[in-house]
Amino acid sequence: MTQPTMTYLITAAGAGQLCVLVASSLVPLRLSFPKELGTLPKLHRQLFWTYGGYVVATIVALGLVSLLFARELAGGSGLARAVCGYIALFWGVRLSLQTVFDVKPHLTAWWLKLGYHTLTALFLSFTVIFAVAALGIAV
């Protein structure tokens, strides 16, 4: 794949990663986190929110790095390939979790189903784009 094309794809993926946070921000409300987590011990609640914060911060960082340094990531240096490999792994793991999470009871409206499938498509595209960049595959 040419560097300009990969730069464009990485930039688009960076914007997409930040857009994922919009959907993520709705999850605590849709799943009634305050109520449901209220039955857990305080330490468990604190750990849950801490882990969630780290995931959000990671997605923000990956999105910004992809937007601000797309050309460098597409350049194919060792560091660029390592970073792209990490991003591909991050989203690949998240994509695989789509097969494990029991979301059907929560997809009660057409727009929730559409959002879920859109997120799955985004996770797949992030995984593929960054894996191609990490492996230096010429498509």
pLDDT of residue 26: 87
Burial of 130 (0-12, 13-18, 19+ CB in 10 A): buried
pLDDT of residue 116: 92
Which of these, 90, 95, 123, lies nearest to 20 by C-alpha position?
A: 123
Alpha helices in the chain (DSSP H): 3-30, 33-37, 42-68, 70-74, 78-97, 110-135
**Cα–Cα dist 94/65, whole Å:** 19
pLDDT tens by residue, the chain, 139 residues: 688 899 999 999 999 999 999 988 888 888 888 899 999 999 999 999 999 999 999 999 999 999 999 999 999 999 999 999 999 999 999 999 999 999 999 899 999 999 999 999 999 999 999 999 999 986 5
**Cα–Cα dist 125/106, whole Å:** 24
pTM of the complete model: 0.91
| Residue 4, CB-side half-sphere exposure with 13 Å CA sphere | 0
**Cα–Cα dist 137/81, whole Å:** 11
